[in-house]
Structure 1
Amino acid sequence: MTLPPELIASLRGVPGFDEEAFLAVHERGEPPVSIRLNPAKAGFLPDVPQRPVPWCDTGRYLSSRPSFITDPAWHAGRYYVQEASSMFVEQAFRQQAPGALRVLDACAAPGGKSTHLQSLIGPGGLLVSNEVIRTRVGILSENLQRWGGSNGVVTSADPREFAGLPGFFDVVLVDAPCSGSGLFRREPEAIREWSPEQVELCGARQQRILSDLSGALTEGGLLIYSTCAFSPREDEVVVDWLVEQLGFEALPLALDPVWGVVESGKYGYRFYPNRLEGEGLFLACLRKRNGVSSSYRGTFRPGVSLLGKREKELVAPWVASPDDYTYLLTGETVRVLPSGLTADIAHLSSVLPVREAGVAIGQIMRKDVVPDPALALSSILSTGIPRVALDLEQALAFLRKEELSLDDAPKGWALVTHGGYGLGWVKVLEGRINNYYPKQWRVLKK
Structure 2
Amino acid sequence: MSNKFPSALLRSLIQEHGIEEHSFLGEHESNGQVTSVRLNPFKKITNFNNAQQIPWCGDGRYLEQRPSFIADPLFHAGCYYVQEASSMFLELALNSSTDLVQPLKVLDLCAAPGGKSTLLASLINQDSLLVSNEIIKSRVPVLADNLTKWGNLNTVVSNNDPRDFNRLEGYFDVMVVDAPCSGSGMFRKDPAAIDEWSENNVQLCSERQQRILADAYSALKRGGTLIYSTCSYSSEENEQIADWLCDNYQLKTVRIPTDESWGIVETVSEKHSCYGYRFYPHKVKGEGFFLSCFVKQDGHDAEAPFQKPQKLNAADLGVLKKWIHEGEITIIPAKEGYCAIPSAFQHDIRFLQTKLYLKKSGVYIGKIAGKDLVPDQELAQSLILHDDIAKVELSLEQSLKYLRRDVLNLQDSPKGWALMCFEGFGLGWAKILPNRVNNYYPKEMRILKEL
* TM tier relative to shorter chain: over 0.9
Equivalent position of 2:324 in the other structure: 319
How do 1:172-251 residues align onto structure 2 when only pairs under 5 Å count?
A: 172-251=175-254
Shift of 1:256: 1.1
Is 1:341 the equivalent of 2:345?
A: yes
Letter of the aligned partner of 1:74 in structure 2?
F
Residue 315 of structure 2, aligned match among 307, 310, 313: 310
Q: How does 1:33-44 map to 2 (within 5 A)?
A: 33-44=35-46
Q: For residues 303-328 of structure 1, what are the alpha-carbon distances to aligned partners after superposition, in whole Å with 9 as ceiling and x for unaligned?
A: x954322211000011011x521111
| TM-score normalised by length of structure 2 | 0.95
Q: What residue in structure 1 maps to residue 282 of structure 2?
A: 274
Amino acid at match of 1:31: Q
Q: Which moved more, 1:232-241 or 1:96-105?
A: 96-105
Does 1:112 find its partner at 2:115?
Answer: yes
Structure-2 separation of matches of 1:412 and 1:91: 46
Confirm or deny: 8 A CA contact 2:411 2:432 kept in the other structure: no
Residue deviations 1:179-226, cap 9 Å, x none? 000001111111111000000111111011111111000001000000
Please give the secondary structure, in 2, of the residue aligned with 1:329: strand
Q: Distance in 2 between matches of 1:358 and 1:441?
A: 20
Question: CA offset at residue 161 of structure 1?
Answer: 0.6
Aligned to 2:417: 413
Could you tell me which amino acid in structure 2 is paired with residue 34 of structure 1? S
CA distance in 2, matches of 1:214, 1:124: 24
Give per-residue Cα distances to partners, 1:94-148, cap 9 Å, x unaligned: 1111225100000000000000000000221100000010000010000000111
- Given that 1:298 and 1:346 are in contact with CA atoms closer than 8 Å, whether structure 2 keeps it comes out as no
Deviations 1:266-289 (A, max 9, x none): 210000100010000000110100
* 1:403–1:306 distance in 2 versus 1, CA, 3 Å: farther
Q: Which residue of 2 is the match for residue 45 of structure 1?
A: 47
Deviation at 1:156, TM superposition (A): 0.6
Contact 1:386 1:415 (C-alpha < 8 Å) held by counterparts: yes
2:443 maps to 1:435 = no
Q: Distance in 1 between matches of 2:44 and 2:130?
A: 21
Equivalence for 1:82: 83
> Partners in 2 of 1:62 and 1:433 — Cα distance?
37
- Could you tell me whether the CA contact under 8 Å between 2:410 and 2:432 is conserved in 1? no
Task: Tell me what 1:146 maps to.
Answer: 149
Kept in 1: contact 2:159–2:359 (CA 8 A): yes
| Structure 1: segments with no counterpart, 5+ residues | none
The two structures, once aligned, show a CA RMSD in angstroms of: 1.4
AA paired with 1:9? R
Q: Alpha-carbon deviations, 1:61-84, whole Å to 9, x = none?
A: 111111111110000000000000
Distance 2:127 2:121 in 1: 10
Displacement of 1:46 after TM fit?
A: 4.4
Report deviation, 1:244: 2.1
Deviation at 1:341, TM superposition (A): 1.0
- State the secondary structure of the residue aligned to 1:77: coil
Counterpart amino acid of 2:320? Answer: V
Q: Is the 8 A contact 1:424 1:436 kept in 2?
A: yes
Cα separation, 2, equivalents of 1:175 and 1:228: 8
Are residues 174 and 306 of structure 1, via their aligned partners in 2, closer, same or farther at CA, if it must alter by over 3 Å? farther
8 A Cα contact 2:249 2:298, kept in partner: no
| Residue of structure 2 equivalent to 1:69 | 70
Q: For 1:371 and 1:21, locate their aligned partners in 2 and report how far apart those are by CA, in whole Å.
A: 54
Amino acid of the residue matched to residue 82 of structure 1?
Q
Moved more, 367-376 or 287-296: 287-296
Tell me the residue number matched to 1:18: 20
Partner of 2:29: 27
Find the residue that maps to 1:380 and give its secondary structure. coil
CA distance in 2: counterparts of 1:235 and 1:191, whole angstroms: 19
2:280 alignment partner AA? Y
Give CA-to-partner distance per residue, 1:327-367, whole Å, 9 cap, x none. 11123121010100111111111111111100010100010
- Structure 1 match to 2:297: 289
Determine helix, strand or coil for the equivalent of 1:369: strand
Unaligned runs of 5+ in 2: 269-273
**Matched-pair contact (CA < 8 Å) for 1:179–1:229:** yes
What is the Cα deviation at residue 45 of structure 1? 1.8
Contact 1:219 1:293 (8 Å CA) reproduced: yes
Please report the TM-score for the alignment, with normalisation by the length of structure 1.
0.97
How far off is 1:50 after superposition? 2.5
CA distance in 1, matches of 2:15, 2:129: 41
- Mapped to 2, the partners of 1:331 and 1:64 lie a distance apart of 43
Q: What corresponds to 1:358 in structure 2?
A: 362
The one-letter code sitting in structure 1 at the alignment partner of 2:28 is: H
Measure the CA separation in 2 of the matches of 1:158 and 1:439: 29
Could you tell me how far apart the structure 2 residues matched to 1:18 and 1:442 are?
45
The amino acid that maps onto 2:29 is E
Q: Distance in 1 between matches of 2:311 and 2:58?
A: 39
Q: Is the 8 A contact 2:48 2:61 kept in 1?
A: no
Q: Structure 2: how far apart are the matches of 1:91 and 1:80?
A: 18
Equivalent pair of 1:305/1:330 in contact (CA under 8 Å): no
- Give the deviation of 1:17 after TM superposition: 1.9
1:317 aligned counterpart, secondary structure: coil
Q: Which residue of the partner structure matches residue 170 of structure 1? A: 173
